[in-house]
Structure 1
Amino acid sequence: MKTKFLFIFTLFSSFLSLGQTTKVSNITLQQYINIEGRKMELNGAGVRTKYLFPVYVSSLYLQDKSSNPNEVLYNIDHKIVQVDIISSLITKEQFKESVKEGLEYFRESSDIDHEIDMFLSVIKDEVVLGDKFQFVAEDSVCKIFKNNKELIVIDGKKFQKALFSIWLGNKPIDDNLKDEMLGKI
């Protein structure tokens, strides 16, 4: 009887945890998401502001939580950064410029110009309030999604690390956002 109770309790708890959400600046983030059969847990999330205006919510999903940025960048092969646009002031050009700015540090130190150009070339449609981008790392591959539609697959560990370093690297786009994504705040 005790074993049956534990099984039912565990099953019930699992269903409850799958429905949990976190709200960040009016964006509802799922506690768990499944990407290609892999269950990923929300590690942390925060709001990116520019000139005092909130621009997007950025969240990090991992299979196992981590607050160590080097571990996330260099040792964890499966990770997701999700960017939810929360401002109608951001444009396609501003979004592309922000990514280019974030990757500039790595452009000088490695040969990822081709991958950066490939990535920027797929941002063709206007970026609008409510858009959701997902940057999905799987081993050496990085898949870019916009509103659940795959835009491009880029193979290259250097590009993948550079892209995720925008938020989690030694020179992140926003130190507070980095800490929030790593669950430190």
Structure 2
Amino acid sequence: MPLLSGISLLRGRHVGVWLVSACLLVGSSAAWAQTVSVEGERFERNVEENGQRYALIGSGIFTYMLWTAYVGAYYQVEGEPEPQPQNDIPRRLELAYFHDIEAGEFAEATTETLQDTLSSSAYRALQSDLEALNDSYRDVAPGDRYVLSWDGDQLRLVLNGETLFEGGDATFANAMFGIWLGQEPLGEDFRDALLGRE
């Protein structure tokens, strides 16, 4: 093979490798642009679930004392960019955990929070739905994800893609979302991050 032909062939191979690498980088960048990262956990910017398309409103970190308990992302149905966490629009909250938490701890915390933030009559009105949801909780380990969603008809609790609870009405959904996104949330900084205020 003549020297110049060999050099041309090598250059062609280098160009080919460069083009493939560039395409992979562009594809990777596009994939990253479709997600957000919070403490190493990735959340999609757009999610399709149970016939609804949701758009990310905000994401953040929930800390307890000095450690990161979990991170989360809040979504609303596409076309509703103004945060409305306690309205009747379809919405979802996704939480990714960093520590082991027992099912009973979820149930206890949910009950205590609603008792503290609701009137006695409002709490009694949703008590049967709350008991059913509390019974559906399962233990979580690092990396597990819970999703709480309201599709306009019913509330769902999903763990790692498995539906554990379906039921309740808009009032119950508002109470549950209020735990993280209401006037008296578990953490104001976390709420504000989820609502895109930070």
Category of TM-score, reference length = shorter chain:
0.7 to 0.9
Q: Which has the larger radius of gyration?
A: 2
- Pick from 102, 105, 109: which aligns with 1:94? 105
Query: How far does residue 172 in structure 1 lie from its aligned partner after superposition?
Result: 0.7
| Cα separation, 2, equivalents of 1:52 and 1:165 | 24
What's the RMSD between the two structures over aligned residues?
1.9
User: Kindly tell me: are residues 107 and 85 of structure 1, through their superposed partners in 2, closer, same or farther at Cα, counting changes over 3 Å?
Assistant: farther
| Structure 1 partner of 2:72 | 58
Question: Which consecutive residues of structure 1, in runs of 5 or more, have no partner in the other structure?
Answer: 1-15
Q: How does 1:43-122 map to 2 (within 5 A)?
A: 43-62=57-76, 63=78, 64-67=80-83, 71-74=84-87, 76-88=88-100, 90-104=101-115, 105-106=117-118, 108-110=120-122, 111-122=125-136
User: Which amino acid letter does the alignment assign opposite residue 165 of structure 1?
Assistant: G
Distance in 1 (alpha carbons) for counterparts of 2:33 and 2:51: 17
Q: Deviations over 1:56-109 (max 9, x none)?
A: 112101123224xxx3312x4200011111224x33332222222332222624
1:30 paired with 2:44, answer: yes
**Following the alignment from structure 1 to structure 2, what is the Cα–Cα distance between the partners of residues 160 and 107?**
16
Paired residue total: 164
**1:153 pairs with 2:166:** yes
Quick check: 2:85–2:182 contact (8 Å CA) kept in 1? no
* One-letter amino acid of the counterpart of residue 165, structure 2: I
Distance 2:32 2:95 in 1: 21
- Residue of structure 2 equivalent to 1:40: 54
Tell me by how many angstroms 1:183 deviates.
Answer: 0.4
Q: Choose 98-107 or 113-122, whichever is displaced more.
A: 98-107
2:90 is aligned with what amino acid? H
Taking structure 2 as the reference length, what is the TM-score of the superposition? 0.76
Deviation of 1:140 (Å): 3.8
Indicate how the Cα distance of structure 1 residues 184 and 17 shifts in structure 2: closer, same or farther if over 3 A, else same.
farther
Instruction: Specify whether residues 108 and 140 from structure 1 end up closer, same or farther in structure 2 by C-alpha distance, changes over 3 A only.
Output: farther
The letter of the residue matching 1:181 is L
Mapped to 2, the partners of 1:102 and 1:32 lie a distance apart of: 30
Conserved 8 A contact 1:17-1:31: no
- CA–CA distance in 1 between the matches of 2:157 and 2:119? 19
Distance 1:156 1:18, change over 3 A: farther
- Return 5+ residue gaps in structure 2 as ranges: 1-29
**Percent identity at matched positions?**
21
